[in-house]
C-alpha cells in the first residue's frame, strides 16, 4: 500500500502535526450557524466577541483571554440561522491568532460550492448559500481561502491531544492521506444508507484504546459523550440542544443552551452502534 499512500500524500494536504501548540485550548463543538449561542459561549469562556454594523460594513470585534486559544471542531455552517456571521467570527478570531480549527464535512461541502463545484443544496447548505449570496465577493473569497487551509485533524500538545471533526483511529495518528481525511470528516461509515435513508454510521470511539485524548463532534449527543480517551462535544445546538466547549487541559465542560430548535434531527440524539465484529470495513 506504500505507493497508494504516497499518491495520497502527494496532494499536499494541510499540515496536521501541530504538536508544538500546547494550549490551553477552549475546544468548541459544531456551531452550524448558531452565532448568537457562539457569542454567549465565548463570553462564558472569557472571550468578548461582538458583530457590529450591517451589510458590507459588518465587522467582528474580538478579544481573547490571555494565553488561551479557542479551537473549533468544524461544521461552522449549515442548518442554522446565522451561517455567515458564524464564519465571520471564526475567521476573525483565527486572523487575530485567538482561534484555530479543523474542517468539518459541512464546511468541506460548502468549500466545494465556493469553488464552483456542482453540489446538492440540501442538509442546510441551501441556507448557507442563500446567506453568502448576500455577502460581498471578497468575503466569499476570504472564506474559501480560510477553509482551504484547514487540516482534517490537528495533533496537539506534544501529542497528548487530537481535535478531529468526526474522530480518528489510533493507527491513523500522525499520518495524513485522503482516506484518513475522509474518516476525520465523516467518521466510520459503511457507505450504505440505513432504513431512514441516512448514511450508516458506526461508533469508532467504542473501540478506541489509545493514550491520546481525541475531542470530536459530528454526532449530536444530548450530553458530552466520554468513551475511553475520547469525547464527543457536538451537543446539537442547531437541533435545539446546547453549544459545548471542552477546556483543555482542564477537561472542564462549558455549555450554553440553544435559543431555538433551528433544524430537525431525523436521526435522534445519541452515538451510533458499534461496528459489528464481523462487519465489512
Identify the residue among 26, 36, 37, 75 touching Mn ion (CB under 5 A): 75
**DSSP helix/strand/coil, 230:** strand
Please tell me whether residue 30 binds Mn ion under the rule CB under 5 A.
Answer: yes
8 A C-beta contact, residue 235 and residue 41: no
Q: For residues 108 and 27, what is the distance between their CA atoms, to the nearest angstrom?
A: 19
Bridge-based pairing state of the strands 69-72 and 25-28: parallel
Comparison of 23 and 181: residue with beta carbon closer to Mn ion: 181
Instruction: Tell me the residue ranges of DSSP E strands in the chain.
Output: 17-18, 25-28, 48-52, 59-63, 69-72, 99-101, 153-156, 161-164, 188-193, 199-202, 213-216, 225-226, 230-232, 242-248, 252-257
**DSSP helix/strand/coil, 273:** coil
Closest residue to Mn ion, based on beta-carbon distance? 75
Comparison of 34 and 60: residue with beta carbon closer to Mn ion: 34
| CB 219 to Mn ion: min, Å | 8
Please tell me whether residue 78 binds Mn ion under the rule CB under 5 A.
Answer: no
Q: Among residues 157, 28, 42, which one has the least CA distance to residue 104?
A: 28
Comparison of 144 and 267: residue with beta carbon closer to Mn ion: 267
| CB 75 to Mn ion: min, Å | 4
Q: Which residues of 20-57 are buried (b: 16+ CB within 10 A; e: fewer)?
A: ebebebbbbbbbbbbbbbbbbbbeebebebebeeeeee
Q: For residues 264 and 281, what is the distance between their CA atoms, to the nearest angstrom?
A: 30
| CB 4 to Mn ion: min, Å | 29
Please tell me whether residue 157 binds Mn ion under the rule CB under 5 A.
Answer: no
| CB 249 to Mn ion: min, Å | 25
Comparison of 37 and 75: residue with beta carbon closer to Mn ion: 75
Grid coordinates belonging to 46: 472569557
| CB 35 to Mn ion: min, Å | 15
Comparison of 166 and 172: residue with beta carbon closer to Mn ion: 166
| CB 277 to Mn ion: min, Å | 28
| CB 1 to Mn ion: min, Å | 30
Comparison of 26 and 30: residue with beta carbon closer to Mn ion: 30
**DSSP helix/strand/coil, 204:** helix
Comparison of 93 and 263: residue with beta carbon closer to Mn ion: 263
Residues near Mn ion (CB under 5 A), total: 2
Chain contacts with Mn ion (rule: CB under 5 A): 30, 75
Amino acid at each position: 500500500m506504500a505507493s497508494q499512500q504516497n499518491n495520497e500524500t502527494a496532494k499536499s494536504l494541510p499540515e496536521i502535526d501541530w504538536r508544538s501548540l500546547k494550549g490551553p485550548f477552549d475546544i468548541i463543538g459544531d456551531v452550524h450557524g448558531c452565532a448568537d449561542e457562539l457569542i454567549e459561549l465565548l463570553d462564558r469562556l472569557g472571550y468578548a466577541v461582538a458583530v457590529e454594523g450591517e451589510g458590507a460594513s459588518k465587522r467582528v470585534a474580538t478579544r481573547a483571554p490571555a494565553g488561551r486559544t479557542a479551537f473549533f471542531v468544524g461544521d461552522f455552517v449549515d442548518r442554522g440561522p446565522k451561517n455567515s456571521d458564524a464564519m465571520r467570527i471564526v475567521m476573525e478570531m483565527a486572523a487575530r491568532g485567538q482561534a484555530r480549527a479543523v474542517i468539518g464535512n459541512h464546511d468541506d461541502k460548502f468549500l466545494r460550492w465556493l469553488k464552483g463545484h456542482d453540489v446538492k443544496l440540501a442538509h442546510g447548505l441551501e441556507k448557507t448559500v442563500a446567506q453568502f449570496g448576500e455577502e460581498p465577493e471578497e468575503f466569499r473569497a476570504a472564506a474559501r481561502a480560510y477553509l482551504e487551509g484547514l487540516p482534517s485533524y490537528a495533533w496537539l500538545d506534544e501529542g497528548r491531544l487530537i481535535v478531529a471533526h468526526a474522530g480518528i483511529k489510533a493507527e491513523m495518528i500522525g499520518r495524513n492521506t485522503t482516506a484518513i481525511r475522509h474518516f476525520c470528516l465523516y467518521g466510520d461509515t459503511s457507505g450504505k444508507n440505513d432504513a431512514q435513508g441516512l448514511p450508516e454510521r458506526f461508533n469508532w470511539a467504542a473501540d478506541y484504546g489509545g493514550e491520546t485524548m481525541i475531542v470530536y463532534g459530528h454526532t449530536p449527543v444530548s450530553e458530552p459523550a466520554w468513551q475511553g480517551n475520547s469525547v464527543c462535544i457536538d451537543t446539537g445546538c442547531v437541533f435545539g440542544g446546547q453549544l459545548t466547549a471542552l477546556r483543555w487541559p482542564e477537561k472542564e465542560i462549558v455549555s450554553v443552551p440553544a435559543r431555538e430548535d433551528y433544524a430537525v434531527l431525523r436521526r435522534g440524539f445519541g452515538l451510533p452502534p458499534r461496528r459489528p465484529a464481523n462487519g465489512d470495513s
